[in-house]
Amino acid sequence: MKITNTPGVMRTAPTRSVRRTEKTGSATETSAPRDISDTVQVTTIPPEEMTPRVQQAIMSLMEEVDKLRRELDFTNRRLREMEDMADTDALLPIPNRRAFVRELNRMISFAERYGAPSTLMFIDLNDMKVINDRYGHEAGDKALFHVARLLVDNVRGTDVIGRLGGDEFGVLLAQADESIGQEKATALAQIIADNPLVLNGEAVKMSLAFGTYTFRQGDKPDEALDKADKAMYENKREIKGEEPR
């Protein structure tokens, strides 16, 4: 520990310490193993009262503060890890519905405040039951991973991909108006169709139905999801050749 010449101020250094000799009482510098760097304002202790015992007490206190700081850093890291786990889907390495809805709310607020259009895409995979029945549920999980990877790889860093549940996904297209959102959704659907899933050496074609909704003033997350969901079902009926409702 090193004491500065400034009255009332003590500084620590990582490789120096101060001790007082018994014969002369003069201060000499010796090496020490401690590695603490802090500045302590000792406003109530006059320099002449900064005895070795007081110095040691202050050093012990600073070591305790350093220990508490490390424990706090560790706790904060663990909290961040737990928050990440709470926001990540149980199966896929993408946000779950809870985290996606939070981002949806944030993007709606941003669009309202700055007038920047953004679009929600609601996705439902077709024929997942056929894959599960024919190849097993493990294959169904691989299909979900396959689609999630393709979606993540083909959107911008500002966009958000989330799993809404089952074989349903959500995509938040930042600063994309209705026309751009529809164009991007069509492109993503084509990418899924052009990249079949390989199971046991067999290429399994996949497809999706989608609906888009561009945010408007006063929208709520649940309302936006419901409108995009309804648009998706209309698209699914078109794919099946059914009459729209």
Residues ≥6 apart with Cβ < 8 Å to 43: 8
Q: Coil, helix or strand for 244? A: coil
d(CA 133, CA 166) in angstroms, rounded, equals 15
* 153 included as an active-site residue: no
> What are the C-alpha distances in Å from 184 to residues 1, 62, 159, 167, 215?
63, 57, 12, 20, 16
Cβ neighbours of residue 206 under 8 Å, at least 6 residues apart? 125, 126, 127, 143, 146, 147, 192, 193, 195, 196, 197
Written as six digits, the tokens of 197 are 């899933």
- Contact (Cβ atoms closer than 8 angstroms) between residue 140 and residue 128: yes
Distances (CA, A) of 99 to 32, 105, 150, 214: 50, 10, 20, 20
Rounded CA separation 119/112 (Å): 13
* CB 132, CB 139: distance < 8 Å: yes
**Catalytic entry in 89, 124, 167, 219:** 167
* Sign of the alpha-carbon torsion through 49, 54, 59, 62: negative
Would you please indicate which residues are annotated as catalytic (active-site) residues?
Answer: 167
